Amino acid sequence: MRCMLVLVCALLSVSFAVGGPFVWSQQNDQVEVKTDRFSEATTIKLKPQTILDTPDQIITMSLEAKFGDKKIRDEVDRTSEILGEQAFVRLESQSKGSVDFGDKQLHFIVDGKRIKVGESVGTLLKFPGKDPDLKPGFKNREVFTNGLNLEQMKQIANGNRVEMRFGKYESVLSTTLLGNLREFVRAFTKYAPSGKLKERRL
């Protein structure tokens, strides 16, 4: 009997250690979906995608969206949450020296059609010691954030040729990056309040 009790306790300990508070759903190796089992809040992440890669500077772009973290009391709250649906764009620059980002405006041209997102909010990250996320040989890490709504994301993800300008930097998004962005948009649409509302009405 005592051996059985010890075995049950051990299995419960392993269950809690492995399960944790989150349930993970891997879309592909670049898109992660994490749902908190207690609050049911869902976080969707697109891992950092390389936009610029030179010996002196690297710029990456990642996206994140979170749903279900706010209590919905009535239809007004639900409507407000749907209208506010967006993903946060995170642009990170690592450089060997100081960098001038210009006006910090984020723009896209998708198959000839312009999408103006607006000015990004940024900051130079400083640590009391060495920044653990800095790549070897790099001295500065700056992060800028902005927002994209679902319509903008769909336009960009479904484009054949997508040009991007952030401040003074211009690049053409690779087919691989666009494919990863499409996976992010699929997950976003699935877990967004507007997507769930559509499913309930079908």
Tell me if 39 is assigned to some domain: no
Q: Could you say which DSSP state residue 1 is in?
A: -
34 within some domain = no
Q: Which domain holds residue 133?
A: 46-197
Q: What is the pLDDT of residues 125-176, one digit of tens each?
A: 988 888 999 999 999 999 999 999 999 999 999 999 999 999 999 999 999 9
- For residue 36, tell me if it sits in a domain: no
Tally Cβ neighbours within 10 Å of residue 180: 22
Domain annotation covers residue 8: no
User: Residue 29: inside a domain, yes or no?
Assistant: no
Domain assignment present for 33? no
pLDDT number for residue 39: 85
| Residue 80, in any domain of the structure | yes
pLDDT in tens, 49-75: 999 999 999 999 999 999 987 655 444
pLDDT at position 17 is 41
Is the pLDDT at 106 greater than 50? The verdict is yes
Higher pLDDT, 185 or 14: 185
Nearest partner of 95 among 50, 41, 58, 145, judged by Cα: 58
Instruction: Quickly state the pLDDT bin for 18 (edges 50, 70, 90).
Output: very low
Question: Is pLDDT of 8 > 90?
Answer: no
What is the tally of structural domains in the chain? 1
Contact between 186 and 30 (Cβ < 8 Å)? no
